């Protein structure tokens, strides 16, 4: 009886996992397709054309570059601002902490459309020109809360005694921060930055409202769903998936080696 139950959980869990990975497999398989007509939804014949020429579709790689640039700057902006907020919230007691916590929580608890629409009203009222800058502003705004949450979790679990020890050993405030605090907080900051990058790179709704005539990669994919989907989209999707998996495996190897080095 117990044996069956145990396996029910495993089977159900693995089925869910299959459900999650199935579309990625489809994307991968269809990157080798040679579609008839404009849409790449039905399998025709095997072909490597799209892999040989990923930028062969007009505007595709331009959109990709734009998304990448925005994601990099948004990550830098949100990570710096978010880390500062996280440190202030964990390390200091001051008035208005509750209000600030809610201000940080709210963007995560708001449907994206609402934020997108309200930002657009602001930009329209200010007469701002929609494009790179408005998208960047928006991305820093919605990534900020996620960075704060990620960094806060790490800083909260940090032992303040380590910094005291550094001070006792005559380290100055700057030295303590650079040599002790920052390295310990680094995994949290890295997690926040990675999250910000992924969120920014993949965002469609807020970007679509505030991009004006600029086209980011998700917007390009959205447009292609109406006009006809080039196979190159699947190539890029597959490549992104592969890069992510390799990065994770690489990170795992590095941390394993560190662990081994740490234990004599």
Partner 1 sequence: MTATAAPPAPPTPPVTDAAVRKVPRRKRLVPYWLLLPGILWLLVFFALPMVYQASTSVQTGSLEKGFEVTWHFQTYWDALQEYYPQFVRSLLYAGTATVLCLLLGYPLAYLIAFKAGRWRNLLLVLVIAPFFTSFLIRTLAWKTILADDGAVVGALDALRVLDVTSWLGWTADDRVLATPMAVVCGLTYNFLPFMILPLYTSLERIDGRLHEAAGDLYARPATTFRKVTVPLSMPGIVSGTLLTFIPASGDYVNAELLGSTDTKMVGSVIQSQFLRVLDYPTAAALSFILMAVVLVVVTVYIRRSGTEDLV
**Interaction with partner 1 in 164-223: which residues (CB under 8 A)?**
198, 201-202, 204-205, 208-209, 217-218, 221-222
Range 70-99, binding partner 1 (CB under 8 A): 81-82, 84-85, 87-89, 91-94
At 159, list the tokens. 């032992």
Give how far Cα 87 sits from Cα of 101, 150, 151, 184, 256, Å.
Answer: 13, 11, 8, 13, 29
CB of 170 to partner 1, least distance (A): 19
Question: Which is nearest to 226 in space by CA: 38, 28, 24?
Answer: 38
Phi and psi for 34 in degrees, rounded to 5?
A: -120, 95
Select from 106, 162, 169, 186 the one that contacts partner 1 (CB under 8 A). Answer: 106
Select from 36, 38, 41, 53 the one that contacts partner 1 (CB under 8 A). Answer: 41
Select from 23, 172, 187, 250 the one that contacts partner 1 (CB under 8 A). Answer: 23
CB of 44 to partner 1, least distance (A): 12
- Tokens 């959980």: give the residue: 9
Distance between CA 193 and CA 14 in Å, rounded? 30
Select from 71, 144, 166, 196 the one that contacts partner 1 (CB under 8 A). Answer: 144
Question: Which is nearest to 148 in space by CA: 84, 198, 102, 96?
Answer: 84
CB of 82 to partner 1, least distance (A): 6
**Count of CB atoms situated within 10 Å of the CB of 64:** 19
CB of 53 to partner 1, least distance (A): 18
Spatial contact of 202 and 218, defined as CB atoms under 8 Å apart? yes
Range 43-72, binding partner 1 (CB under 8 A): none
Q: Work out the angle between the directed axes of helices 60-91 and 231-262 (0-180°, nearest 10).
A: 40
Binding to partner 1 by residue 146, rule CB under 8 A? no
Q: Which stretch binds partner 1 (CB under 8 A): 51-59, 68-76, 120-128, 182-190?
A: 120-128
Q: Which is nearer to partner 1, 5 or 52 (CB)?
A: 5
Tell me the site size for partner 1, rule CB under 8 A: 88
At 240, list the tokens. 């992104």
Binding to partner 1 by residue 5, rule CB under 8 A? yes
Q: Which residues pair with 33 in a beta bridge?
A: 46
What is the maximum alpha-carbon separation in the chain? 72
139 CB-contact burial (10 Å; exposed 0-12 / middle 13-18 / buried 19+): buried
Q: Which is nearer to partner 1, 50 or 233 (CB)?
A: 233
Q: Which is nearer to partner 1, 126 or 261 (CB)?
A: 126
Binding to partner 1 by residue 13, rule CB under 8 A? yes
CB of 179 to partner 1, least distance (A): 19
């Amino acid at each position: 009886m117990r044996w069956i139950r145990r396996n029910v959980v495993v089977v159900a869990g693995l089925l869910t996992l299959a459900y999650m990975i199935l579309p990625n497999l489809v994307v991968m398989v269809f990157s080798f397709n040679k579609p008839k007509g404009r849409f790449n939804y039905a399998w025709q014949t095997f072909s490597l054309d799209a892999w040989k020429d990923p930028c062969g579709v007009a505007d595709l790689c331009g959109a990709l570059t734009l998304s990448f640039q925005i994601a990099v700057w948004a990550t830098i902006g949100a990570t710096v601002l978010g880390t500062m907020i996280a440190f202030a919230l964990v390390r200091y007691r001051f008035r208005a902490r509750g209000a600030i916590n809610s201000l940080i929580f709210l963007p995560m608890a708001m449907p994206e459309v609402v934020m997108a629409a309200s930002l657009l009203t602001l930009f329209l009222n200010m007469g701002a020109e929609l494009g790179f800058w408005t998208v960047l502003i928006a991305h820093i705004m919605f990534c900020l809360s996620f960075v704060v949450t990620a960094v806060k979790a790490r800083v909260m679990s940090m032992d303040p005694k380590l910094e005291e020890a550094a001070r006792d050993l005559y380290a100055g405030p700057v030295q303590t921060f650079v040599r002790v605090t920052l390295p310990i907080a680094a995994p949290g900051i890295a997690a926040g930055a990675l999250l910000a990058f992924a969120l920014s790179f993949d965002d469609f709704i807020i970007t679509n409202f505030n991009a004006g005539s600029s086209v980011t990669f998700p917007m390009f994919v959205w447009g292609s769903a109406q006009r006809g989907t080039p196979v190159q989209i699947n190539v890029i999707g597959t490549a992104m998936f592969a890069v992510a998996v390799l990065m994770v495996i690489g990170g795992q190897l590095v941390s394993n080696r560190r662990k081994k080095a740490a234990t004599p």
